[in-house]
Structure 1
Amino acid sequence: MAMMDGIKRQLRSVVEWQNPDPDVLFTQWTENGDEIKNASKLIVGPGQGCIFVYEGQVKAVIEQQCMVNLQTDNVPFWTTIKKFMQFFVSEHKVGIYFYRKTKILDQKWGTTSLIKYQDPKYQFPIGLKAYGNYSYQIEDAQAFFVNIVGSHSQVGIDEFRRIISARVIQPISDYLAECGYSYADIDANREEIARGISIKLAIVFRKLGFNISDFRIEGTDFDEDTLRRINRIADLTAEAQAAQAVGLDYAKVQQLDAMREAARNESGAAGAGMGLGAGVALGQNMAQGLTMTTPGANGTADDIAGKLAQLKKLFEAELISEAEYTAKKQELLARF
């Protein structure tokens, strides 16, 4: 019975990757367990490669489409196998792995955690999230087998995508820290950033046995802390520009805002009166300054119109009384 089993195992067979699953990147041939039958043929189809593994070590890689007679053809490592295997039956088993050589296109990536770096312009910490796509291709099958496949009998494209996503964060963080882009410049320079990152990724992934290409950034976003800082900068910038547009000094506008806030938040009637009184006093001083700082004897029409606009703002902010507003207004109008 044992002899018949041995004879059956020697029957001719074909070793090939038939109808490969489009979602599989790397797979072990298991049709005959892990034994190779005598006089078998190995067929490597278009877009495929094949790896011979013996006792956990890669002994040969076939990268071209071909058909090999394992009994007679001079295949690298094949003679070594024969030394250990009697009638192709041995406790030392052979692993045959097929892999996809074609380029895998349009793969999505996204950061699994925040990319953190210091904003070079505003000097506050940035928490960035990003996503995009890329293409890749197995370039060094032996390195890929050692670094990625290991003891797995199969590696799927989805599984490999997760491996890549976990490894892109550090190169992206390093590049953003080196390139000097502020948060406001990222979207405008997305293509340039992607090119710089792809160079760093190519160095990292080449060591793992594959080449990454067409790396693109499709979108970015910031965490809540970063957005709060960004919105604060935007608000302050808008206030400064608005003050400049109406001819007000931004520092004085900030003083007025602080006084108004103090008047609102002081506890008790006396405290409220003190806060409001300080605001009114500052407003009165500024109102007097509207007259004192007017250049020339009468001033130009533009100067006086600007002073009137400032005076109205002080009145609307309740920092001067109606009587003071009316008196100063009449004084400025008299200069026309």
Structure 2
Amino acid sequence: MGLFSSQFSNVVEWEEYRDDLIFWKWSNKEIKKGSRLIIRQGQDAIFMYNGKLEGIFTDEGSYDMESQIVPFLSTLKGFKFGFNSGIRAEVLFINTKEFTVKWGTKNPVSIEAPGLPGGMPIRTFGTFNFKVADYMVLIEKIAGIKKQYAVEDIKERVTSILNQLLMKWIAKEGKNKFNLQANAFDIAKGIREDLDMEIIKLGITVTGFNIESFTYPEEVEKMATKVASHSMINDMGKYQNVSIVDGMASGNMKGGGTASDVMGIQMGYMMGKQVVDQMQQNKNVNNVASQETTTSAAPKFCPNCGVKTQGTKFCSNCGYKLI
């Protein structure tokens, strides 16, 4: 009898486990008398019979099918294993961990920018996190027809709508189009909420979204640095015109032609000018503070009696208020 039980029994477990699989389905096999279910750490097991969910098991361990699993299934709790009879069911193994995925824009995203009718192309990258949230929806939308589902499938779905969401939330939260990193947190928060509304339709929730960096065109970044370094030139418009003429004369302009190079210079000029303006604002604030300090300082001689003061609020000779 032991020979036959070992011959017909089987082990129901995740046989093709990979770190990047969201779920894997054990199917097309008959569960015989003496079979066991093995659930490992970070896994949940869902029994399905005739396409319907029968039971969910979340505790890791090794279980006897006949005595520990079947009695808890919805429609199969009264099933009796015989010598040749078994259950042809499916077991869906769910990876319960939170996944972290790197993302990046495949093509530049063109965003609106002041003074640039055609917009400014940028690239950006970061990470997002997700996990399975609703088993019933997952079975209905994906697991009912697929044997397995990988992280790459979710990444492909996310990146297909990411450019649109980037443009939407940069327009809402990107107060400074030439320094989007300053508003990266608010932009990422908005994108995460929209992504979650889209992915939850698959039974999966987006638990985090992070923007690590925004990248501007190389010629724009170089020109911004150059313009900022020439902040001592008061007439920035004159500097811009001279730069364009010099570039044309030297033949060093790169890109898709003179028009694109001029656009790069203009964008770089605007970025650099913002840096210069900020420096000037800081300088003005410091000057005002310095003037206030100077104005409030005590006079060197008392205006009442002419005696030299000692830096006090009142004259030591006549008591006249100095400050």
| Aligned pair partner of 2:12 in 6, 15, 32 | 15
| Aligned pair partner of 2:85 in 77, 81, 87 | 87
Residues 123-134 of structure 1 correspond to what in structure 2 (within 5 A)? 124-134=118-128
Maintained 8 Å contact 1:134/1:212? yes
- The verdict on how the C-alpha distance between 1:133 and 1:233 changes in structure 2, with shifts beyond 3 A counting, is closer
- The verdict on how the C-alpha distance between 1:69 and 1:8 changes in structure 2, with shifts beyond 3 A counting, is closer
Q: Distance in 2 between matches of 1:54 and 1:182?
A: 56
1:20 Cα shift? 2.9
- The verdict on how the C-alpha distance between 1:57 and 1:81 changes in structure 2, with shifts beyond 3 A counting, is farther
Q: Distance in 2 between matches of 1:131 and 1:14?
A: 43
Maintained 8 Å contact 1:103/1:137? yes
Maintained 8 Å contact 1:133/1:216? yes
Residues 13-162 of structure 1 correspond to what in structure 2 (within 5 A)? 13-17=10-14, 20-30=17-27, 33-65=28-60, 67-73=62-68, 74-79=71-76, 82=79, 87-88=85-86, 93-105=88-100, 107-119=101-113, 124-162=118-156
Q: Distance in 2 between matches of 1:54 and 1:120?
A: 60
Long gaps (5+) in structure 2? 250-323
- The verdict on how the C-alpha distance between 1:197 and 1:48 changes in structure 2, with shifts beyond 3 A counting, is same
Aligned to 1:196: 190
Maintained 8 Å contact 2:16/2:24? no
Determine if the alignment matches structure 1 residue 177 to structure 2 residue 171: yes
Maintained 8 Å contact 1:10/1:87? no
Q: Distance in 2 between matches of 1:146 and 1:114?
A: 36
Maintained 8 Å contact 1:61/1:142? no
TM-score by length of structure 2 reads 0.56
Q: What is the DSSP-based 3-state SS (H/G/I as helix, E as strand, rest coil) of the residue aligned with 1:53? A: strand
Q: Distance in 2 between matches of 1:213 and 1:220?
A: 22
- The verdict on how the C-alpha distance between 1:234 and 1:148 changes in structure 2, with shifts beyond 3 A counting, is farther
1:68 Cα shift? 4.5
1:189 Cα shift? 2.2
- The verdict on how the C-alpha distance between 1:232 and 1:65 changes in structure 2, with shifts beyond 3 A counting, is same
Aligned to 2:203: 209
| Aligned pair partner of 2:233 in 237, 242, 247 | 242
Q: Distance in 1 between matches of 2:191 and 2:115?
A: 21
Q: What is the DSSP-based 3-state SS (H/G/I as helix, E as strand, rest coil) of the residue aligned with 1:242? A: coil
Identity %: 21
- The verdict on how the C-alpha distance between 1:52 and 1:196 changes in structure 2, with shifts beyond 3 A counting, is same
Q: Distance in 2 between matches of 1:144 and 1:188?
A: 37
Aligned to 1:308: none
Maintained 8 Å contact 1:143/1:207? yes
Q: How many residues align?
A: 237
Q: What is the DSSP-based 3-state SS (H/G/I as helix, E as strand, rest coil) of the residue aligned with 1:205? A: helix
1:129 Cα shift? 2.3
Aligned to 2:283: none
- The verdict on how the C-alpha distance between 1:233 and 1:17 changes in structure 2, with shifts beyond 3 A counting, is closer
Q: Which amino acid aligns with 1:15?
A: V
1:217 Cα shift? 1.3
1:237 Cα shift? 9.9
Q: What is the DSSP-based 3-state SS (H/G/I as helix, E as strand, rest coil) of the residue aligned with 1:35? A: strand
> Over the residues paired in the alignment, what is the CA RMSD in angstroms?
4.3
1:240 Cα shift? 11
1:115 Cα shift? 3.4
Maintained 8 Å contact 2:125/2:211? yes
Q: What is the DSSP-based 3-state SS (H/G/I as helix, E as strand, rest coil) of the residue aligned with 2:202? A: coil
Maintained 8 Å contact 2:9/2:31? no
Maintained 8 Å contact 1:111/1:166? no
Q: Distance in 2 between matches of 1:121 and 1:201?
A: 31
Long gaps (5+) in structure 1? 1-6, 265-336
Q: CA-to-partner distance for each residue in 1:284-336, whole Å, 9 max, x for gaps?
A: xxxxxxxxxxxxxxxxxxxxxxxxxxxxxxxxxxxxxxxxxxxxxxxxxxxxx
Q: Which amino acid aligns with 1:242?
A: I
